[in-house]
Each structure stands twice: as C-alpha cells, then as structure tokens.
Amino acid sequence: MYNAVIQSNHIQEERSRVLTMKYGKHQMMLIRKRMKIENWIDSEVTKLFNGNESNGVEIDVDVLLDLDSIPAKRKFVFDHLQRNHCPASMDKITMFLDEM
C-alpha cells in the first residue's frame, strides 16, 4: 500500500514535469512580442468597429507576419476589415494600416 502511494506520487510528479515546459529567455521574449502585437491589433480593430468586440474579424498574426511586403500586409488586413463591413471611415482605417 505504501509503495503504491509513493509510486502514484512519483507518476504525478513525472506528469507534472512533462506538462510543464520551460522556454528560454529569447523564446519567451518572442512569445511576449507576438502577444503584444496580437493584443494591439485586436484593440485597434475593436476601435474601428466602435467598441464592438464581436466584430468577426480574425486576423491570423502568423499569416500576417509571413507576408513579404508591407503592401501585402496592408491588403491582407484591409480585406479582413472589408469582409466584415468595417463601419470606420477610410481615414481611420488608413491611419490604422499606417501604424501597423
């Protein structure tokens, strides 16, 4: 019985260690940077939709960052805004795209 408890605790510790992943400082910095970009984009898109958080716009940051040129990135985001009928003026949309 005592051995079963010890073995059970050992298995739980082993699972915990496997499930807990450690990232290096550089990788954590990249993760934080990506999250910051995602949060900024989400915040700005919400502003363009007059504070409506359920605006339907889902911009895939990985796809956005993989695009080669700034014009391609601008078009990618602009197309997402258009598809979801963004109510903001073209001036506000252009300002957002310029900041991006």
pLDDT at res. 49: 92
- Tell me the pLDDT of the chain averaged across its residues: 83
Token readout for 80 is: 């997402």
| Confidence category of residue 8, pLDDT binned at 50, 70, 90 | low
CA distance 60 to 87: 21
| Burial of 93 from C-beta contacts in 10 A (0-12 / 13-18 / 19+) | middle
With respect to residue 67, please indicate whether it lies within any of the assigned structural domains.
Answer: yes
What total of structural domains would you count in the chain?
A: 1
With respect to residue 55, please indicate whether it lies within any of the assigned structural domains.
Answer: yes
Residue 3 has pLDDT above 90, yes or no: no
With respect to residue 58, please indicate whether it lies within any of the assigned structural domains.
Answer: yes
Q: Whole domain around residue 52: which residue ranges?
A: 23-99
- pTM for the model: 0.69
With respect to residue 29, please indicate whether it lies within any of the assigned structural domains.
Answer: yes
With respect to residue 18, please indicate whether it lies within any of the assigned structural domains.
Answer: no
With respect to residue 44, please indicate whether it lies within any of the assigned structural domains.
Answer: yes
With respect to residue 13, please indicate whether it lies within any of the assigned structural domains.
Answer: no
Give the C-alpha distances (Å, rounded to integers) separating 77 from 1, 64, 80, 97.
Answer: 61, 8, 5, 8
At 27-65, the pLDDT tens digits run 888 888 889 999 999 999 999 998 888 888 889 998 998
With respect to residue 56, please indicate whether it lies within any of the assigned structural domains.
Answer: yes
Work out the average pLDDT over 9-24. 61
